[in-house]
C-alpha cells in the first residue's frame, strides 16, 4: 500500500488538505441569473463579496435560477509576495474542472456543472483588493454563470430603455465607459460597463452593475457637481494595461442605474474617430462585414458554444458604428434613436 508524507509538521500535518474548517459566515447574492452563496471564515474575503454583489438587482433569466456555492479561503501571508502587481491569471482545465491560477497561493478551482468553486487567496492579496475581487472572486462567478446558463460572455458595455438594450463594443480607449456614463446621466438603463452576458437565443442580456470605471478626463463634460464628486471621490484602480481609472460604485450614484435584463436590439461599435460636422454620428455597417467584425472584437466569446446563434441574431438586428461628436450628449441622442 502506498504511503504519503507531508513536509509540514505539527497541526498542519494532521489536516494537510485544510478540511477541518472553523465557523463560517455566509453572504447571499443574486447575479447573472443565478443565486450565489459565498462562504468563508474570513471577514475580509466576505466583505469583498459584499462589495462586488450586495444590493444589485436580481436578474432572472429562467423560472428556476440555478444555485452556486463559492468557498473563499484565506491563507497566511506569503514571505515572497511580489512588490508590484500580482502575476496574471492563467487558465487551465481537466477532469471536468476549470482553474484560474495566479500562483501557488492565489487560485480558483471550479466545477460549473455542479455550481461549486473554491477561491484561495493569500493574506498579502488583501492589500490588492481590486485584483483579488476582480480576477479571482468575480472570475469564478462570471465563469460558472456563463457555463451553467449557456451565456455568451462579451467584453463590452450595455445600456437601454424600456427593456430594449444596445451592446456597446470597441477597442480599449475608444470611449465605451464614457458613453455608458453619459447614457446613465441621460436617463438610460445602465446594465454593465465592462462585461455583458447574453442568452444567445433570446438575446436577453445581463450584467453586474456594481462599478463604473472612468478616467479623470471624463469629468470635463460633466456639469452636475454631485456626479463630479461621486466620480472624483471614488478610489482609483490601475488596470494591467497601466491605465488608471476611478472606480465609482453605481449603487451610490446620484442617479438610478439599472433595472432588469435587457433584450438586445442592436450592437454599436464605439469609434474614437471624430465625425465631420456635416456627417451623421451613427451609420449601419454593411451586413457582409458585421460577422467578421464581431469575431475580431470578441475572440474569446466567438469560441463559445452559443456564438453562432448569437452572431446570426445580432447581424439580423443591426450592427452600427458610432463616431464621436462635439459632446457625449450627441452620442447618447444617437443611441436613443435606435432604442425608439
Taking only the tens place, the pLDDT of each residue in 159-200 is 999 999 999 999 877 788 889 999 999 989 999 988 999 999
Q: How many CB atoms lie within 10 A of CB 238?
A: 13
Q: Do 329 and 211 share a domain, yes or no?
A: yes
pLDDT for the residue 280 = 86
Same domain, 186 and 307: yes
- Structure confidence at residue 327 as a pLDDT band (50, 70, 90): confident
Is residue 100 in a domain? yes
Residue 310 has pLDDT above 80, yes or no: yes
The enclosing H or E element of 196 equals strand 195-199
Last residue of a domain, one of 149, 172, 206: 149
Phi, psi of 338 (to 5 degrees): -75, -25
Same domain membership, residue 182 and residue 136: no
Q: φ and ψ at 326, to 5 degrees? A: -70, -20
Q: Is the pLDDT of residue 145 over 90?
A: yes
pTM score of the predicted model: 0.89
Q: How many CA atoms lie within 13 A of 302 on its CB side?
A: 9
CB-neighbour burial class of residue 332 (10 A; exposed 0-12, middle 13-18, buried 19+): buried
For residue 254, give the 3-state DSSP assignment: coil
CATH code, 240: 3.40.50
Residues 6 or more apart whose Cβ sits within 8 Å of residue 200: 150, 151, 152, 306, 307, 308, 309, 310, 313
pLDDT at position 271 over 70: yes
Do residues 237 and 255 both lie within one domain? yes
Residue 285 in this model has a pLDDT that exceeds 90? yes
| Domain count along the chain | 2
**Residues 78 and 118 reside in one and the same domain:** yes
Same domain, 144 and 164: no
pLDDT tens by residue, 15-69: 666 666 667 899 999 988 899 999 999 999 999 999 999 988 888 877 688 999 9
Structural domain ending residue among the three candidates 86, 115, 149: 149
**Same domain for 74 and 159:** no
**Shared-domain flag, residues 214 and 172:** yes
Residue 45 has a pLDDT of 97
Amino acid at each position: 500500500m502506498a504511503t504519503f508524507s507531508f513536509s509540514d509538521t505539527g497541526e498542519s500535518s494532521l489536516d494537510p488538505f485544510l478540511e477541518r474548517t472553523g465557523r463560517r459566515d455566509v453572504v447571499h447574492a443574486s447575479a447573472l441569473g443565478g443565486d450565489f452563496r459565498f462562504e468563508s471564515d474570513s471577514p475580509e474575503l466576505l466583505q469583498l463579496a459584499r462589495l462586488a454583489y450586495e444590493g444589485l438587482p436580481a436578474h432572472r433569466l429562467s423560472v428556476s435560477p440555478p444555485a452556486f456555492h463559492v468557498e473563499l479561503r484565506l491563507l497566511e501571508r506569503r514571505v515572497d509576495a511580489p512588490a508590484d502587481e500580482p502575476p496574471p491569471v492563467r487558465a487551465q482545465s481537466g477532469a471536468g474542472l476549470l482553474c484560474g491560477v495566479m500562483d501557488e497561493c492565489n487560485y480558483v478551482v471550479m466545477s460549473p456543472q455542479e455550481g461549486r468553486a473554491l477561491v484561495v487567496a493569500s493574506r498579502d492579496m488583501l492589500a490588492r483588493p481590486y485584483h483579488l475581487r476582480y480576477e479571482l472572486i468575480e472570475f469564478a462567478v462570471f465563469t460558472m454563470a456563463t457555463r451553467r446558463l449557456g451565456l455568451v460572455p462579451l467584453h463590452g458595455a450595455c445600456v437601454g430603455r424600456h427593456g430594449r438594450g444596445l451592446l456597446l463594443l470597441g477597442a480599449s480607449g475608444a470611449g465605451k465607459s464614457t458613453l455608458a456614463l453619459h447614457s446613465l446621466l441621460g436617463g438610460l438603463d445602465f446594465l454593465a460597463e465592462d462585461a455583458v452576458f447574453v442568452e444567445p437565443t433570446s438575446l436577453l442580456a445581463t450584467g453586474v452593475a456594481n462599478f463604473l470605471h472612468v478616467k479623470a478626463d471624463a469629468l470635463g463634460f460633466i456639469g452636475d457637481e454631485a456626479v463630479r464628486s461621486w466620480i472624483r471621490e471614488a478610489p482609483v484602480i490601475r488596470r494591467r494595461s497601466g491605465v488608471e481609472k476611478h472606480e465609482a460604485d453605481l449603487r451610490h450614484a446620484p442617479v438610478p442605474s439599472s433595472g432588469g435584463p435587457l433584450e438586445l436590439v442592436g450592437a454599436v461599435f464605439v469609434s474614437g474617430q471624430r465625425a465631420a460636422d456635416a456627417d451623421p454620428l451613427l451609420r449601419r455597417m454593411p451586413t457582409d462585414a458585421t460577422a467578421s467584425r464581431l469575431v475580431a472584437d470578441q475572440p474569446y466569446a466567438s469560441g463559445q458554444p452559443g456564438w453562432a446563434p448569437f452572431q446570426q441574431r445580432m447581424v439580423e438586428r443591426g450592427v452600427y458604428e458610432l463616431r464621436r461628436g462635439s459632446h457625449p450628449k450627441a452620442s447618447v441622442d444617437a443611441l436613443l434613436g435606435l432604442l425608439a
